[in-house]
């Protein structure tokens, strides 16, 4: 399996977590979320982001509101709900556990 393909699959698996983490810091709109993900080298396009945002909204993890933009059409700002914050806390714990497990596998029990 090619290295780029492996990295893409790993990114895809944690993208939903990253989106919730971004929204936990501040409300945001899709192009800004994409820019933050790209800055972190989690390359994503709108066609990937919007279905995830829709799933998260349908699951009650986030809501949205429309705001006028100083440039162009109104922007849809996404906001994390209380349920979304609770879910993110669960994902934080799962991530920490997973990192610990990977470290154990990579470096052995004594390190």
Query: What are the residue boundaries of the structural domains of the chain, listed by start?
Result: 1-105
Mean pLDDT, rounded, for 67-96: 96
Q: Are 10 and 2 in contact (CB under 8 A)?
A: no
Question: Based on C-alpha coordinates, what's the Rg of the chain?
Answer: 16
Task: Give the global pTM.
Answer: 0.86
- Would you place residue 5 in the very low, low, confident or very high pLDDT band (cuts 50, 70, 90)? confident
Element (H, E) at 110: none
Residues 6+ apart with CB under 8 A from 40: 18
User: Which contacts of 23-26 are long-range, i.e. CB under 8 A and separated by 24 or more positions?
Assistant: 23/62, 23/78, 23/79, 23/80, 23/84, 24/80, 24/84, 24/85, 24/88
Q: Which residue has the higher pLDDT, 84 or 69?
A: 84
Q: Which residue has the higher pLDDT, 10 or 102?
A: 102
Report the mean per-residue pLDDT for the chain: 92
CA distances from 42 to 25, 29, 36, 70 (A): 18, 17, 8, 28
Third-level CATH fold of 1-105: Arc Repressor Mutant, subunit A (1.10.10)
Mean pLDDT, rounded, for 62-66: 98
């Amino acid at each position: 399996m090619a290295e780029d393909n492996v990295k893409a699959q790993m990114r895809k698996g944690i993208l939903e977590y990253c989106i919730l983490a971004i929204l936990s810091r501040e409300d945001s709109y899709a192009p800004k979320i994409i820019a933050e993900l790209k800055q972190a080298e989690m390359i994503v396009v709108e066609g990937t982001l919007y279905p995830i945002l829709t799933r998260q909204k349908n699951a009650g993890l986030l809501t949205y509101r429309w705001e006028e933009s100083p440039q162009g059409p109104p922007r849809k700002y996404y906001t994390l709900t209380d349920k979304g914050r609770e879910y993110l806390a669960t994902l934080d714990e799962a991530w920490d556990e997973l990192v610990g497990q990977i470290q154990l596998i990579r470096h052995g029990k004594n390190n």
